[in-house]
A = this chain, B = another copy of it.
Amino acid sequence: MEELVGLREGSSGDPVTLQELWGPCPRIRRGIRGGLEWLKKKLFRVGEDWYFLMTLGVLMALISYAMSFTVGRVAQAHKWLYQEIGEGHLLRYLSWAVYPIALVSFSSGFSQSITPSSGGSGIPELKTILSGVVLEDYLDIKNFGAKVVGLTCTLAGGSTIFLGKVGPFVHLSVMMAAYLGRLRVVTTGEPENKSKQNEMLVAGAAVGVATVFAAPFSGVLFSIEVMSSHFSVWDYWRGFFAATCGAFMFRLLAVFNSEQETITSLFKTSFRVDIPFDLPEIFFFVALGAICGVLSCAYLFCQRTFLGFVKTNPVTSKLLATSKPLYSALAALILASLTYPPGVGRFMASRLSMREHLDTLFDNNSWALMTRNSSPPWPAEPDPHNLWFEWYHPRFTIFGTLAFFLVMKFWMLILATTIPIPAGYFMPIFIFGAATGRLIGEALSLAFPEGIVAGGVTNPIVPGGYALAGAAAFSGAVTHTISTALLAFEMTGQIVHALPVLMAVLAANAIAQSFQPSFYDGTIIVKKLPYLPWIRCRKISSHRVVVEHFMNRGITTLAKDTPLEEVVKVVTSTDLAEYPLVESTESQVLLGTMRRAALVQALQAEPLSWAPGHQRCLQDVLATGCPVEPVTLLLSPETSLHQAHNLFELLNLQFLFVTSRGRAVGTVSWVELKKAISNVTNPPAPK
């Protein structure tokens, strides 16, 4: 009994139940249990967020995989139909064309009928949301289904429609992140926290890219480059965690489905490892980058112009406004007719899927050299072991086909981007770049059939390397990002071309960024979404522009001594969300802000009894408990434009009050900043 008491008083003083004592080694067991408890507590403490991030990654991977799987099956059915339907040209043409037309018009009709904002990639809208603008309903989970179904149909259109998955998937992922965030608020009972919400959205964007390409690194970096102008390392870590979970799950499913032996990259290449390229080739890589940069400028300009044209042209704009499915069907008809393989389609490898396009373009053999002396006939059906034959035509050779592909896809892609369906525009651009690179690579391999001699060893040129560089450079230039280089490596599982590809991407970006806004910025401009431009002007004079010069002086303040009638008049005549409260009409010393809703409520609750001799003023309403929110950050009229811009960008602000010696003298919002920036960059002509 004494021993029992001693034991009870030992080990941290908690009472020991008899049952515990009966088992062997009670102390050790208690220790283990304590350790587990501690671990549980620790995990939950650190965890919390991690669970949500993991759920997000895994869920999106499941959806992405299910979508790929469905699309694959639908495409396979189309292929089978097309091959089995017999030799008659009309039937074959119909079986080729009706499929994508039906899919695209269904996609358009279905998704548009549920959410009008589901068209396009969604990245431009996300960009504005992440910069602090509230776009109502854009992240509502009820649009999720519409976008998933619509996107699946679009993707099932295959290389005929030639559209991708990334953009809408990023949107889906962010929707899911927002939904999970709201779910957490409900389950944990924590108050909503704006910064935490934002963190979740940023992680969602990274997951979107990562689960499409199984590329966590570039997923995080690409989403950052595209979405934000700055980011915190904390967000970046969370993005990595979620993206890794997503990418892992995505590839794991492929293994479980016996598509892959183990976890590998999506578009595995087999470039020569020992000497993948010779030193002088670096020059051609940079030149390829420059060409891609120029091409991207042309593409961006034409795309923006055509988008504007479609929106303003009376015929198309009416069609788009009233019957979107019809417009989609017409566009799909054009695209399908042009890609009909026995017709023009045979000159642009239209029997290959987009995945096969990339696989063949990254091939490490030189087609030009292989077909130099022999000219195999055009096969009736794609040869699964030599898919690249699709790129070859006996009369036009490789070069003719590649060039024709580039010319046709250039405007077909621009046409496809105007179709109002959920669709991504990254993948087609990536393939377009790969074809550009391949063309140049093949030309080089023909020009130097012996390869480039360096250090006494001759190495044949690998056109696939140029295709890789071209893909990264062109997509990087169009989206104004550099991480596409990393994406190319993660997608192919080889990093041997690290420096040349990076240099090509930098060259392409240098050209594209100095002449055209990015694809997403261009869409923001065309769609007239709110955004804050960069201050590109680095002149010294721009540092002398201060808030005083451009702030909005027409500020409606409510003073404590404002008579109630006047308050009512102000509230009914304006519709600001918040009104600044000042000490008195005379002093204008800023005290805080009042939400319109709260103010209206308080005014209504107030018994409007005008006691004679005592004019009731705002102060009386405040005394009844109408909440005044503090203003936590103030600008002064002497704050410079650069500083104010920096603040708005870093803190995702909507507007700030400007005070001078405590007096509210104005406000600054995006509108003023934008005007000031455009004035600085393009000074108004002196009158």
Could you tell me which A residues sit within 8 Å of B by CB distance?
Answer: 42, 46, 48, 50, 190-191, 193, 195, 216-217, 224-225, 228-234, 236-237, 240-241, 244, 247-248, 251-252, 255, 258, 261-265, 270, 273-279, 282, 454-455, 457, 482, 485-486, 489-490, 493-496, 498-500, 502-503, 506, 509-510, 514, 534, 538, 540, 543, 583, 589-591, 630-640, 642-643, 646-647, 650-651, 659, 661-663
Please report the C-alpha to C-alpha distance between residue A278 and residue B650 in the assembled complex, in whole angstroms. 44
Q: Is the CB of B636 within 8 A of A633?
A: yes
Q: Given the interface contacts A241-B506, A643-B633, A659-B634, does A275 sit within 8 Å of B261 by beta carbon?
A: yes
Can you name 5 A-B residue pairings with CB atoms under 8 Å? A46-B510, A237-B509, A632-B636, A634-B659, A659-B662
New A-B contacts (11) at CB < 8 Å, excluding given A230-B230, A240-B502, A493-B496: A191-B540, A224-B233, A225-B233, A229-B233, A236-B482, A264-B496, A494-B495, A583-B661, A589-B662, A590-B661, A591-B661
Q: Are A278 and B251 in contact (CB under 8 A)?
A: no
Given contacts A275-B262, A493-B498, A630-B638, contact A232 B234 (CB under 8 A): no
Q: Is the pair A630, B634 in contact by a Cβ cutoff of 8 Å? A: no
A540 partner residues in chain B, CB cutoff 8 A: 190-191
How far is the CB of A506 from the nearest CB of chain B, in Å? 6
**Which single member of B247, B583, B632, B661 contacts A499 (CB below 8 Å)?**
B247
> By the criterion CB–CB under 8 Å, are B630 and A244 in contact?
no
Q: Which residues of B contact A631 (CB under 8 A)?
A: 636, 638
Taking a contact as CB atoms under 8 Å apart, the answer to whether B590 and A502 are in contact is: no
Are A635 and B633 in contact, CB atoms less than 8 angstroms apart? Answer: yes
Measured between beta carbons, the chain B residues less than 8 angstroms from A646 are 195, 651
**Which chain B residues lie closer than 8 Å to A190 at the CB level?**
540
B234 in contact with A46 (CB, 8 Å): no
A122 to B448, CA, bound (A): 49
A499 pairs with B633, CB closer than 8 A: no
Chain B contacts for A252, CB-based, 8 A: 279
CA of A191 to CA of B247, assembled, Å: 48
| Contact residue among B236, B486, B650, B659 (Cβ-Cβ distance under 8 Å from A217) | B486
The answer to whether B195 and A482 touch across the interface, beta carbons within 8 angstroms, is no
Q: Contact: A651 with B647, CB < 8 Å?
A: yes
- Chain B residues with CB below 8 A from A503, complex form: 244, 248
B643 close to A638 (CB less than 8 A): no
Contact present for A279 and B262 (CB under 8 Å): yes
Q: Is B244's CB under 8 angstroms from A262's CB?
A: no
CA distance A649 to B261 in the complex (A): 47
Q: Is the beta-carbon distance between B229 and A230 smaller than 8 angstroms?
A: no
- The docked-state distance in angstroms from the alpha carbon of A661 to that of B193 is 27
CA distance A462 to B182 in the complex (A): 45
Instruction: Output the least CB separation between A296 and chain B (Å).
Output: 16
CB distance from A469 to the nearest CB of B (A): 13
5 closest residue pairs by CB, A with B: A662-B662, A630-B638, A632-B639, A230-B232, A634-B634
CA distance A499 to B214 in the complex (A): 9
A234 closest partner in B (C-beta): B229
CA distance A499 to B263 in the complex (A): 8
User: Across the interface, which residues of B come within 8 angstroms of A270, CB to CB?
Assistant: 273
Chain B residues closer than 8 Å to A647, beta-carbon distance: 633, 651
Q: Which of B193, B244, B489, B591 contacts A495 (CB 8 A)?
A: B489
A271 to chain B, nearest CB (A): 10
CB of A231 within 8 A of CB of B234, answer no
List the B side residues contacting A48 at CB < 8 Å: 538
Chain B CB within 10 Å — which of A224, A234, A237, A495 has the most? A495
In the docked arrangement, what's the CA distance between A230 and B6, Å? 56
Contacts of A255 in B (CB 8 A): 279
Closest residue of B by beta carbon distance from A227: B233
Question: Closest Cβ of chain B: how far from A576's Cβ, in Å?
Answer: 20
Minimal beta-carbon separation of A86 from chain B (angstroms) = 39
Measured CB to CB, the closest approach of chain B to A651, in angstroms, equals 7
In whole angstroms, how far apart are the Cα atoms of A633 and B546 in the complex?
A: 12
Q: How far is the CA of A650 from the CA of B248 in the complex (A)?
A: 33
> With A244-B503, A454-B262 given, is the CB distance from A638 to B642 under 8 Å?
no
Are A278's CB and B265's CB within 8 A? no
**Would you give the shortest CB distance from A667 to chain B, in whole angstroms?**
15
Most chain B CB inside 10 Å of its own CB: which residue of A251, A630, A637? A630
Q: Which of B224, B490, B632, B635 contacts A632 (CB 8 A)?
A: B635
Is the pair B278, A262 in contact by a Cβ cutoff of 8 Å? Answer: yes
Pairwise interchain contact B482-A240, C-beta atoms closer than 8 A: yes
On chain B, the residues within 8 Å of A659 by CB distance are 634, 662
Asked whether A589 lies within 8 Å of B661 as measured between CB atoms, the reply is yes
A273 to B251, CA, bound (A): 17
Is the pair B643, A636 in contact by a Cβ cutoff of 8 Å? Answer: no
- In the bound assembly, the distance between CA atoms of A518 and B631 in angstroms comes to 37
A496 to B493, CA, bound (A): 6
Are A228 and B233 in contact (CB-based, < 8 A)?
Answer: yes
How many angstroms from the CA of A264 to the CA of B497 in the assembled complex?
8
Checking B191, B261, B632 against A643 with a beta-carbon cut-off of 8 angstroms, the contacting residue is B632
